[in-house]
Amino acid sequence: MNLRRLALILVPYLWLMGFFLVPFLIVVKIALSDTAIAIPPYWPVLDLSAGWTGIKEFFSELDLENFIFLTEDSLYWKSYLSSLQIATISTFLTLLVGYPIAYAMAQAPDEWRPTLMMLVILPFWTSFLIRVYSWVGIIANEGLLNQFLLWTGLISEPLQIMNTPTAVYIGIVYTYLPFMILPIYATLEKMDGSLIEAAVDLGCSRGKAFWLVTLPLSRPGMIAGCFLVFIPALGEFVIPSLLGGSQTLMIGKVLWEEFFSNRDWPVAAAVAVVLLLLLVIPIVLFQRNQQKQEEAGR
């Protein structure tokens, strides 16, 4: 009985240990190492054959040098700040676009809902990379959007959208929209329609009823959606590198360049560790929110 329970609990913990904690500790270890022209490109490497003295020597070689370096070069904190800004703004934009869609879906007749749901999920069936890349064809100077606007005569010069933060916003909002829509839709869909009728019956206009009842009750969905968008957007690499050009500073891109172009694994690892810490804070906040919701729901 107790053994079975233990085994049940052990499975997810072993999984997390094996595929999250151990790799993370390796990354932390690399972040504390020095760059070396070697394979692997860092030093020291743990050599168990030297026994206890080897281990002691190994630990004495580790230092926080790389983390200190991150604070010295303004590129890093600027990238973190810029990433935070881009992630925050695009999360807000996604909420602005996603809420009305989720609301419309929840209001739609029952027989339409599976179709609408399908339409939201459908983009996932195409590769993420291809979907982001196809935006280049739309927003580039000679792309579909500019051609259309030039043709209508609204503009005489092509709009420079490509390689600007605007392009990154478009990319993130487009890509992460389903993650915003689905949790909001889930909360709106299970809401009792008679609540709105009750609000109207008690003297609210439809708009006021939405503001006083629907919006507060869909807050858990909005919070969940915002976290689901914000967290991956913060570390986003593909979208800024395909659409943002060299002007857009994002930490995901810096990380990639540090790792593949500079082959500076220790600094890249330090960047990753700091990014993870930046992400852990909102995740903890999110979980606390969830917990509160659960307690309130009981």
Q: Which residues bind other proteins (CB under 8 A)?
A: 192, 194-195, 197-205, 208, 212-213, 216-217, 296-298
The C-alpha atoms of residue 36 and residue 40 are separated, in whole angstroms, by 8
164-202 b/e with 16+ CB inside 10 Å = b? bbbbbbbbbbbbbbbbbbbbbbbbbbeeeeeebeebeee
- Token pair for 287: 């979980």
- Residue 43 belongs to what H/E stretch? strand 42-43
**Minimum distance between the CB of residue 190 and other proteins, rounded to whole angstroms?**
12
What is the nearest approach in angstroms of other proteins to the Cβ of residue 181? 22
**Pick 21 or 195: Cβ nearer other proteins:** 195
User: Between residues 72 and 294, which has the closer beta carbon with respect to other proteins?
Assistant: 294
How far apart are CB 274 and other proteins at their closest, in Å? 38
CB of residue 184 vs other proteins: minimum separation in angstroms? 16
In the complex, least distance from residue 298 CB atom to other proteins, rounded to whole angstroms: 7
Work out how close the CB of 114 gets to other proteins at its nearest, in angstroms, rounded to a whole number: 23
Cβ proximity to other proteins: between 46 and 195 the closer is: 195
Residue with tokens 């609210």: 204
How big is the CA angle at 260 (ends 248 and 55), to the nearest 5 degrees? Answer: 125
Contact, 139 vs 167, CB < 8 A? yes
**The token pair that represents 276 in the structure block:** 């993870």
Nearer to other proteins, 157 or 294 (CB): 294
Q: Which is nearer to other proteins, 37 or 202 (CB)?
A: 202
Neighbours of 58 (CB within 10 A): 17
Residue 222 Cβ, how far from other proteins at the closest point, in Å? 13
Toward other proteins, which CB reaches closer, 224 or 275? 224
Q: How far apart are CA 238 and CA 271, in angstroms?
A: 17
Contact by Cβ (8 Å): 156, 150 = yes
C-beta of 61 vs 197, nearer to other proteins: 197
Residue whose CB is less far from other proteins, 115 or 205: 205
One-letter amino acid of 227: F
**Nearest by Cα to 173 from 202, 210, 139, 207:** 139
Nearest to 249 by CA among 165, 161, 135, 136: 165
Task: Give the nearest distance from C-beta 228 to other proteins in angstroms.
Answer: 22
